[in-house]
């Protein structure tokens, strides 16, 4: 299942990163974002507060949407469910 920030049951557009991370933790969603600037800081704060997140993947501006989809499909096909827990991964992940 894929949800986008701003979808009816997801946090609204403009929701602070800290609240998005809490929502991802509660609903066990991996976060896919292009936020390279502040997300690492917010993840560190989230973890320091005793929280967790199933994982964060940061998109690469040089990759097409199709390349991102291919990369994520590959990751999901070979990864263990908790392999990305509490970590940020930058796409593409070297194979």
- Report the pLDDT value the prediction gives residue 46, as an integer from 0 to 100: 98
Dist CA 64 CA 13 (whole Å): 23
- Whether the upstream peptide bond of residue 43 has omega within 30° of 0, thus cis, is no
**Using 50, 70 and 90 to split pLDDT, how confident is the model at 2?**
confident
Cβ neighbours of residue 60 under 8 Å, at least 6 residues apart? 68, 90, 91, 92
What would the two tokens of residue 76 be? 């999901």
Q: Tell me if residue 89 falls in helix, strand or coil.
A: strand
Tens-digit pLDDT profile for residues 51-93: 999 999 999 999 999 999 999 999 999 999 889 999 999 999 8
What would the two tokens of residue 42 be? 């917010």
The total of other beta-carbon atoms located within 10 Å of residue 15's CB is: 14
Name, of 1-10, 43-52, 85-94, the range with top average pLDDT: 43-52
On the question of pLDDT at 94 being above 80, the answer is no
């Amino acid at each position: 299942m894929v949800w986008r920030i701003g979808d009816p049951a997801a946090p609204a557009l403009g929701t602070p990163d800290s609240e998005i991370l809490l929502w991802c933790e509660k609903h066990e969603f991996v976060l896919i974002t292009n936020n390279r600037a502040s997300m690492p800081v917010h993840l560190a704060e989230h973890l320091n507060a005793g929280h967790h997140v199933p994982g964060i993947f940061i998109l690469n501006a040089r990759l097409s949407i199709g390349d991102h989809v291919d990369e994520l499909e590959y990751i999901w096909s070979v990864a263990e469910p908790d392999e990305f827990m509490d970590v940020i991964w930058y796409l593409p992940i070297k194979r």
